[in-house]
Structure 1
């Protein structure tokens, strides 16, 4: 029986509270994303203008990764600095040609060319810069007069968020426009000790609530809103709803966007995601000094067996990498994987990669997320 029919029975119809079935917008300062989803920045050519613009066209924030972005540039060997800045500028401009949506750039603090990448992103009018792999303590100093680029650090604890808020306020009178809180289920390099990765105390839910609490005093004192973006292990629309319910304003998703038509990686890279099983996922010791989550490959096995030897570095891409002690070049390995040469590299991936079973268009993925979000709405409750 329809609720409207009950009036004919002279019965009192209780007030019902309709569930929130539509994804809310994500507000970061004066920027508004139509859906609360930021596509994770995946370096060495996995997320460039193709993927970023496709996500932006669906209402999310598309992100170009700056790490080793000029790997395929013809002038890389002669002038690596120019090759990377030229490639980044071109990718931002190309993305702009494809979308009117929001475009960001992910720039790791550990990059040797961090400053050049930040300056180029601001000059080209990137909507946001997302920066992790270290604390971006001086990031606001690169903002020129009139620059509208918003700054979003990546943290993995409330303590780190507090440190950044205090440092930025003291040195630059600037407060972070948002924080990405990355948990240990993320793909790629992880900001955790190996023993913390599977420790329940470091679950993403706990970290998000910790950072929400850490920024609250700054919000109250300065009369601002600091959105918290949950990242690392967010896979479904139901996951998005869960993160929003505990205080996050949005989520960042990387792994699920790799298995899309528009992702900038080779089809063999994407197929590695589709074919990955639980047994294929491994935490490796990266040459940059951090643990990383990857899909097992022949190269990873060879490294574990001591079959790889230190190399001559031609990139000098990450400050913390010591080529005299490292068994392989992380930049070359990831570049090979991006090109589909997985025997000579490996693919970074998040913990949920075994759940991916097909390659689909970004539009279909976003629609699926919306449907999952709606379906996960709580049941109707009397008001």
Structure 2
């Protein structure tokens, strides 16, 4: 049992220092984010093809997605009127600026942004507040994986916008979905991208985390504010949380553990795939945009590359997607899974997905993570 301090991000105070990681397509929407916020954590809605259920999604994906941002945060607020609710927005998203501005205007408390370095995030947030004619103040947090990437973003924001992040999220090699590392980055860390769990040098990466924390503190001093650092990837138990705190983290970001909750927006077939998964079923795969990603092996992944792929419809999702060379459409693969066709789709997960044994409530998971179970 351990007593954890609240996570303080400026004027936002989360009773429990747990951020629920953003999971798209359609896995962390209003139901999960609202429940996490109600339990004293920070609930995060993923904007990745968030409007896939909208009737005009096929014809107007951008409009459908922007509309759904407003709908989902409104529903989450109804669940947790006093909770902290934000969005995860991928830098790699087409029309990234539009998503950021819509999230700000919809009243997001926080935007967490990765899948690339969010170099222009402060500019888009400021423009949205100005366009809304209000004093909207959405907190902003880059996702980084190395001291180098943290330094690049802090230096750039300092020089160009004269500001520092409100929060920094550090995603390690055990995270789910798209990893914050290229194959080359993993190699630099001595990690084999084909066998991360066995070759991952935890102690070495923890030194990287400590380096990021030291760097962020320097920028906090410069701007006379406390910038919390939250770690992510492979965090599943209260002991895992305590270990991150011992490293100097102010909180943790947890995603996989929340998938097998009653409140998670994923269909039962998706949750069952996690419960059925064995350790050897969790693999590193290459996404259509070339980045490594962690997923549960299934008939879909086994067939990728064996059958010629022809793109039937473009959903305008990722900036760097070459229609002529992709092995599959990532939107279609993720939507198929989010609609319960899990044998035909992509099942992103974290390294601990195989540990899921049953459905739980968000409240029970939160209590377990913070040591109140």
TM-score, structure 2 as length reference: 0.91
Name 2:113's counterpart in structure 1.
Answer: 131
Q: Alignment partner of 2:272: what SS?
A: helix
Greater shift in the superposed pair: 212-221 or 339-348: 212-221
Name 2:88's counterpart in structure 1.
Answer: 106
Name 2:265's counterpart in structure 1.
Answer: 264
Contact 1:289 1:320 in 2 (8 A): no
Name 1:307's counterpart in structure 2.
Answer: 307
For structure 2, the 5+ residue unaligned runs are none
- Does 1:95 find its partner at 2:76? yes
Name 2:323's counterpart in structure 1.
Answer: 323
Whole-angstrom distance in 1 between the partners of 2:226 and 2:45 = 25
Contact 1:205 1:243 in 2 (8 A): no
Whole-angstrom distance in 1 between the partners of 2:249 and 2:371 = 20
Name 1:80's counterpart in structure 2.
Answer: 61
Whole-angstrom distance in 1 between the partners of 2:48 and 2:182 = 23
Write out per-residue CA displacement over residues 286-335 of structure 1, whole angstroms, 9 at most, x where no aligned residue: 0021010000010100014x224232342020012212111211111011
Change (3 A) 1:69 1:209: same
- Does 1:163 find its partner at 2:163? no
Q: Alignment partner of 1:348: what SS?
A: coil
Q: Alignment partner of 2:158: what SS?
A: helix
Q: Alignment partner of 2:253: what SS?
A: strand
Name 2:371's counterpart in structure 1.
Answer: 371
| 1:279 shift after superposition | 1.3
| 1:161 shift after superposition | 1.1
- Does 1:141 find its partner at 2:130? no
| 1:169 shift after superposition | 1.6
**Structure 1 segment 233-252 matched on structure 2, within 5 A:** 233-252=234-253
Name 1:23's counterpart in structure 2.
Answer: 4
How well do the aligned residues superpose, as a CA RMSD in angstroms?
1.6
Contact 1:39 1:62 in 2 (8 A): yes
Whole-angstrom distance in 2 between the partners of 1:151 and 1:345 = 32
How many residue pairs end up in the alignment?
Answer: 353
Contact 1:337 1:345 in 2 (8 A): yes
Name 1:377's counterpart in structure 2.
Answer: none
Whole-angstrom distance in 1 between the partners of 2:22 and 2:368 = 21
Contact 1:294 1:350 in 2 (8 A): yes
Write out per-residue CA displacement over residues 134-159 of structure 1, whole angstroms, 9 at most, x where no aligned residue: 00001001222412100000000111
| 1:216 shift after superposition | 2.5
Whole-angstrom distance in 1 between the partners of 2:308 and 2:330 = 13
Q: Which of 148, 159, 172 does residue 183 from structure 1 map onto?
A: 172
Q: Alignment partner of 1:136: what SS?
A: coil
Name 1:122's counterpart in structure 2.
Answer: 104
| 1:204 shift after superposition | 5.0
Write out per-residue CA displacement over residues 249-277 of structure 1, whole angstroms, 9 at most, x where no aligned residue: 00000000000000001001001111110
Contact 1:262 1:361 in 2 (8 A): yes
| 1:186 shift after superposition | 0.7
